[in-house]
Amino acid sequence: MERFAGTRKALEDSLRQKNWFTDLLEKAEKKSGVDRLYIVAGSVLVIFLYLIFGYGTSFLANLIGFIYPAYRSIKALETVDKGDDTKWLTYWVVFATLSVIESLTDIFFYWIPLYSLLKCLFFLFMMIPTSPNGAVLIYEKVIRPHFLAHEKNIDKFVSEAADLAGDFGNAARKKATDVISQDLIGKRD
């Protein structure tokens, strides 16, 4: 019970810090007469229920998995500390990996009851402000070992793909130049 009281106190303190969100909460609190902690709890409950029963829940889960991390990533880029850059870059590597896996397997995942809610909770686990958070754990335990085991093959594939893309770009530029030249020469006659 003490842990819950400590968590509640920390949440209340964070809801009293000065920023755009708490300014918005302050206005809502004054207009409604409802304490800002209850406004936040009610909002979380509404989102939670919407993720269970609502329409377009996958979009909402993806939005939750994107908005705060994008904001924190931009803030991290604007600091001189590179530790926060690494934290959020790790999040985006895991997020992208999971997005690719989901796009290939979504026909199966969407049959799981409450999938969007579980996905949203998973995103929250990945971005939770603890050390290490879920993204770091997944990166260190799953993605990094697989990457290191196949790094040479991946590097070779990326190099060959870059060469192929460069060759294609050069051929397209040459073809476009030839067509334009022929068109201009043909119009002179």
Tens of pLDDT, residues 178-188: 888 887 776 65
C-alpha–C-alpha distance, residues 35 and 8, integer Å:
13
Q: Which pTM does this prediction carry?
A: 0.69
For 122-180, write each residue's pLDDT tens digit: 999 999 888 888 999 999 999 999 999 999 999 999 999 999 999 999 999 998 888 88
| 161 and 89 fall within a common domain | yes
| 44 and 60 fall within a common domain | no
| 49 and 83 fall within a common domain | no
Number of domains into which the chain is organized: 2
| 99 and 128 fall within a common domain | yes
Give the angle 133-138-143 at the CA atoms, nearest 5°. Answer: 145
**Residue that is last in its domain, among 13, 34, 53:** 53
What residue numbers bound the domain in which 174 lies? 54-188
| 74 and 154 fall within a common domain | yes
For 26-47, write each residue's pLDDT tens digit: 899 899 999 988 998 898 888 8
| 47 and 59 fall within a common domain | no
